[in-house]
Chain A
Amino acid sequence: MTVIIAVSQVLTRLGIKTFLSVIGIEPEYKELAHLDELDSVIPPGSKSYLIIEQSLLVKPESEYLLNIAKKYSKSKILIIGNRVIKNCPCSHFVLNSDNRQEILEKFQDFFSEKDDTSTVNGAEDILSDRETEVLKEVAKGLANKEIADKLYISINTVITHRKNITEKLGVKTVSALTVYALMNKLITPEEAIK
């Protein structure tokens, strides 16, 4: 997986990488300070994750973004800036005013494989078999990377499952997911993380 960070400040780039490592994403990074170098880092037709600083966009922003989105149609785009861009072809925004939790959730959203428009079926809060399996490993204290290796799936898939699990169950923290798993006897007390 390739993540392209087009952000002018080194500190911000570093911050982004830290957040991504927190959610277990360890991609190949390409860092840019200008957008005109995009061509040289994105191989045509490849699927990449683009993280772009809003102030690097040429105005009008939405038009400029539309061009980028068209050109690299397989890639996903996330904008970091002060406000949400109107009529923007992408729906992922991290705002400067966001707190830690919000940023984490937004990045998780960004890397989740789910289509932006699809939502979890509200009435169905029953986990799929695969989700149950992932939940068990989470409750045992495994990290995303370990779960991916164990279940032979990609990290993105793990993240997607985790996001769906959280949405369906309505609990977010690992310790609460563990309580849920124990209550429903998905794991034994010995297996649970202490």
Chain B
Amino acid sequence: MSKYTLFSAQMKMADIVYHNYLLIPVLGRFGIKYGFRNRTVEEVCRQYNINTWFFLEIVNAYHNRDYFPTEKLRDFSFSDIIAYLVNTHRYFQKVKIPEIQVFIDKLMNSAPEENSKNIKLLDDFFKKYVEEIDLHFSHEEEDVFPYIEQIGQAIDSGNVAEELIERIINEPIEEYERQHDNLEIKLNDLKNLIIKYLPPHDNVELVQKLLTELFRVEIDLNDHSRIEEKVLVPKVKSFEQSILKKSGVSN
């Protein structure tokens, strides 16, 4: 099986992990636990109440960076996509960020006074960055995603509330798109500060672990924003248009 193979529903779930261990966190975000035995992807997904096709598209897109089935992904319901995105937020906040923080703390505590000051600078930098991430996520979860759910419900039910139309006119999803910050830039800066400018630290292994972690989170964040910008936003845009059309606001 090559890098370009696509995973299928009849494949064994265990084989996905054997094939690409970087998918481990992706499975985690779907809430899938181990001990698959020889069950297929479809069987495991059914067990966890996951839309198999959505799962497969996400896993395939993550596995093969060139494969990004924008069209296919847009066929899924907002709830499927949003649930996945919110799980990813939790995964960053509850798992990844604390892990990175532990590494930074350990580095800071095991360095001689002079270098410890430098690591403190990175620590402050990271903490401020985490604040930005928290704000970014909570804005999405408290404002943007609920709005998107409303759009979805309006399309499903055919009932459009007056307030929803007003929101579409005054603050369409384009607004979110325009202000959607690229969270990877700062992460990349942090990596470079460590790789190039932090004076050598004796605990090389610890630095390696931290860097590896940062590289992985960057891939994950990238994947996450890609789904928000290339799948979610275009889908919302077209729904907004059809709601406006139906309500006779535009033609």
Contact = CB atoms under 8 A, between A and B. Distances in A.
Contacts of A182: 121
Interface in A164-194: 169-173, 175-176, 179-180, 182-184
A118 interface: no
A172 B185 contact: yes
Contact of A179 (B121, B179, B180, B229): B121
A59 interface: no
A180 B192 CA distance: 10
A99 B125 CA distance: 25
B176 to A, nearest CB: 12
Contacts of B190: 176
A173 B185 contact: yes
A57 B68 CA distance: 33
Interface string B170-198: 00000000111110011011101100111
Interface in A40-85: none
A183 B121 CA distance: 8
Nearest to A184: B197
B87 to A, nearest CB: 24
A86 interface: no
Interface in A136-187: 169-173, 175-176, 179-180, 182-184
Interface residues of A, number: 15
Contacts of B121: 179, 182-183
A99 B182 contact: yes
Interface of B: 118, 121-122, 125, 128, 178-182, 185-186, 188-190, 192-193, 196-198, 229
Given A100-B178, A100-B180, A171-B193, 4 more contacts: A170-B196, A172-B189, A173-B185, A179-B122
22 contacts: A99-B182, A100-B179, A100-B182, A101-B185, A169-B197, A170-B196, A171-B189, A172-B188, A172-B189, A173-B185, A173-B186, A175-B125, A175-B189, A176-B189, A176-B192, A179-B193, A180-B197, A182-B121, A183-B121, A183-B193, A183-B197, A183-B198
